[in-house]
Amino acid sequence: MDFSITEEQRQLVETARKFTRERIIPVAQKLDEHGTFPIDICKEGWELGLMNVEIPSEYGGLGLSCLDHVLMMEEINYGCAGIGTTLAGNNLACMPLLLGGSEEQKRHYLGMLTEAPIFAAYACSEPDAGSDVAGMRTTVRKVGDEYVMTGQKRWITNGGYASWYSVFGRIGDPKDRHKGVTCFVVPRDLAGVSVGKKEDKLGQRASNTTDVLFEEVKLTRKNLVGGEGEGFKIAMKTFDRSRPWIAAGATGIMRRALDESRRYALERKAFGQPIAQFQAIQFMLAEMAMKYEATRLLMLKAAWSIGEGRIDAIESSYAKAFGADSAMAVATDAVQIFGGYGYTKEYPVEKLMRDAKLLQIYEGTSQIQRMVIARNLLAQGA
Amino acid sequence: MQIDLSEEQRLLRDTCREFADKELRPNAKKWDREHRFPAEAVKKLFELGLGGVAVPSEWGGAGMDNVSYALAIEEISRGCASTGVTLSVNNSLYCDPIAKYGTDGQKESFLTPYARGEKLGCFGLTEPQAGSDAAEQRTTAVRKGDSYLINGTKNWITNGPVADAIVLFTMTDLSKGTKGITCFVVETKTPGFVRQKADEKLGICASPSCTIFFENMEVPISQRLGQEGDGFKIAMSTLDGGRIGIGAQAIGIGRAAFEEARDYSKIRKTFDIPIFQHQAIQFMLADMATALDAARLLVLRAAWLKDQGKRHTRESSMAKLFASEAANRVADKAVQIHGGMGYSKELDVERHFRDARITEIYEGTSEIQRLVISNLLLK
């Protein structure tokens, strides 16, 4: 057993922390207020190696592990979860290709991202199919050797900026549920691909979230990722690998909430003494710290298992569900410690609370995580 | 990072698990009901080297690490929480401070036989008026030539009714508060060591505890652990380790409750389907498993830090606090999943529910853990 991180990991954390302090924190509030996409920050982050980190080196990426990635992501999310989500988006888009793509697809599409600071997006959810992935309605018609895709995707992170999408659509009858789901890599410039409305969100407002529309888009076998009907499996395997990232978002938000709350509690006076002297406040801080530490350990364990090739869906779901629910509770408590000031935009904690809420929803809601956990648990035991 | 067990750690865990399945689980209900100390089972565990898991082998211990110790306590407690705390007290609260602060002479007499499991130790800090506020000690030790005369009362002393020796905290200077606390190690057969009848408790009924009176008990200076005034430091650093044991005990109790609830949910039917097919039940089980996994990581991290010789006060408090609260929630939900059967003495879950409760109280209440954590945060 060894809970320490390597010297390389420590340096990666230090780089991300410095970038967060100098480039993210000063602008986060303004980007949030106007819902501005952090394009300059992404370009700099790309230069520094904070994007595309899990793309293997043979495709021009950094080839870092999930563990390296979550350590880095905690730092970025300390500054702004919206920017954290934006920077991580490419990794999510790439995962289906890494899991099921051909050598040619990987060279071409992953290479695009490592050659220039551009974006790709993962497109799975639809207006009427979120948690129920197998209920998707995007259809793919086979015409000879070709495919024709029609459908509407929603909640697509970086949707408006992506140069290509990993898209899930259905071949065959909707009654076949997950069996027909198939993954395609779709360049943005193909005829029939368009970006729909941009969401105006409660939190993570710097993150670009849009509809993406596919109208009679002609695709070939070169666009097919994995085999026909393998999409559902690819989507689920992607989630097993991406959920620790959401736990990293949670640790970043919680550590920020804790730091801000501690500082405020030591300064702010009530009844003639700093509020840090009141046990009611002390115990909230203790609770916040404990939730942060427990989330971090679940995240590290899940990420470590992935790196060891011993991936376990239950561990990723433990980290994601516990982390997201904890971040929501911790950010809410931070607002409480700040009182009226916490409710204003003058201090950063109201943003933490808004940003945290999304963690309980995207990449599988907290309810979906519990379904995954329960299903795995009930396969064990007598 | 390496979140994996070594071969040696896995072997110890599996040995303890097997022992718990064979020797503890089938008997724990009976011991609980009869308030009987499982002397035979404890003896067998001591023969397996569990008297001093992390005590160096030169002093009779197994010479393993604290991660191993935590794994062992979890497994034993899954079988019987009372047996778990009996071992935890001997390892963490009795052997550990002597190994850390004792002279070679003290170790020879008071550590080796206990780490070998030939004898059993206990720990005397709490008093009727001094629980969470350990500085309120009123047991006094007055220097008289080459010995001390000790008078006072300790209560809730786990292992007290059956122990052979006690690590005992006294005041050598009442005016100095925590700086006046001095620690001794004393055999329980010493004249003036007077046990009261065993406590009647809500849970861990097979773990005997009692009040002890000290009536002009004479203890030679050679049995003083550290210097006069070192007692508070010794007590606090000992509890840093003890909390790892209680965290592990809590996980063991929680796991026992969880496993029974999981298995029951597959057998029991309502509305024509096994209750595990209801999401209401699935989600309870999911939360229980998540909490136990997070708790185990906190406990193992604290144990690992202790093995690295690093300060782990905050991490031990977090582990103990989180694990004990998780165990209570998990045991409560396990009763709920069992419904009426969970409330019945016919099954084990009601015992887990009662046993879990103590983990939020002893070795520092949940409130004390929060004080420790927040005080360190605000520094």
Q: Is there a common fold for B7-115 and B232-377?
A: no
* pLDDT value for B131: 86
Q: How far apart are CA B208 and CA B198, in angstroms?
A: 6
Indicate the SS3 state at residue B75. Answer: helix
- The per-residue pLDDT for range B80-90, each reduced to its tens digit, is 999 999 999 99
Average pLDDT over residues A295-306: 98
Its pTM stands at 0.92
- Whether pLDDT at A380 is above 90: no
Asked whether the predicted pLDDT for residue A288 surpasses 90, the reply is yes
pLDDT tens, residue by residue, B53-91: 999 999 999 999 999 999 999 999 999 999 999 999 999
Which of 3.40.50.150, 1.20.140.10, 2.60.40.1180, 1.10.10.10 would CATH assign to domain B232-377?
Answer: 1.20.140.10
Q: What pairs with residue B143 in β-bridges?
A: B148
The Cα A251–Cα A291 span in angstroms is 9
Nearest to A297 among B286, B301, B305 (CB): B301
How far separated are the first and last CA of chain B, in Å rounded? 28
What are the catalytic residues of A?
A: 363
Contact state of A301 with B3 under an 8 Å Cβ cutoff: yes
Which of B284, B290, B307, B368 has the most A C-beta neighbours within 10 Å, making it the best mutation to test the interface with A? B290
Structure confidence by residue, pLDDT tens digits, B202-242: 999 999 999 999 999 999 999 999 999 999 999 999 999 99
Q: How far apart are CA A29 and CA A205, in angstroms?
A: 10
pLDDT given at position A324: 98
pLDDT in tens, A41-74: 999 999 999 999 999 999 999 999 999 999 999 9
pLDDT score of B134: 82
Average pLDDT of chain B, as a whole number: 97
Residue B36: CA atoms inside 13 Å, Cβ hemisphere, count? 12
Distance CA B94, CA B52 (A): 10
Q: How far apart are CA A158 and CA A232, in angstroms?
A: 22
Q: What is residue A258's predicted lDDT score, i.e. its pLDDT?
A: 98
Q: Quick one: CA torsion of A223, A229, A231, A233, rounded to 10 degrees? A: -150
CA distance B267 to B177: 58
Q: Locate tokens 């569990």: which residue?
A: B50
Residue pLDDT tens, chain B, 379 long: 999 999 999 999 999 999 999 999 999 999 999 999 999 999 999 999 999 999 999 999 999 999 999 999 999 999 999 999 999 999 999 999 999 999 999 999 999 999 999 999 999 999 999 888 888 899 999 999 999 999 999 999 999 999 999 999 999 999 999 999 999 999 999 999 999 999 999 999 999 999 999 999 999 999 999 999 999 999 999 999 999 999 999 999 999 999 999 999 999 999 999 999 999 999 999 999 999 999 999 999 999 999 999 999 999 999 999 999 999 999 999 999 999 999 999 999 999 999 999 999 999 999 999 999 999 999 8
Question: Into which CATH architecture does domain B7-115 fall?
Answer: Orthogonal Bundle (1.10)
ipTM of the complex in this document: 0.86
- Residues of chain B found within 8 Å of residue A295, distances taken between Cβ atoms: 294
Strand-pair category, B165-171 with B121-124: parallel
- Check: CB of residue A72 under 8 Å from CB of residue A87: no
The residues with which A272 forms a beta bridge, in sequence order, are none
Q: Map out the domains of chain B as residue ranges.
A: 7-115, 121-231, 232-377
**B336: part of which helix (H) or strand (E)?**
helix B313-338
Interface of B with A (CB under 8 A): 1-6, 9, 67, 259, 262-263, 265-266, 276, 279, 282-283, 285-287, 289-291, 293-295, 297-298, 300-301, 304-305, 315, 318, 321-322, 367, 369-371, 373-375, 377-378
Q: What is the pLDDT of residues A348-370, one digit of tens each?
A: 999 999 999 999 999 999 999 99
Strand-strand pairing, A209-219 and A193-198: antiparallel
B7 labelled catalytic: no
Superfamily of domain B121-231: Butyryl-CoA Dehydrogenase, subunit A, domain 2 (2.40.110.10)
Distance CA A380, CA B261 (A): 12
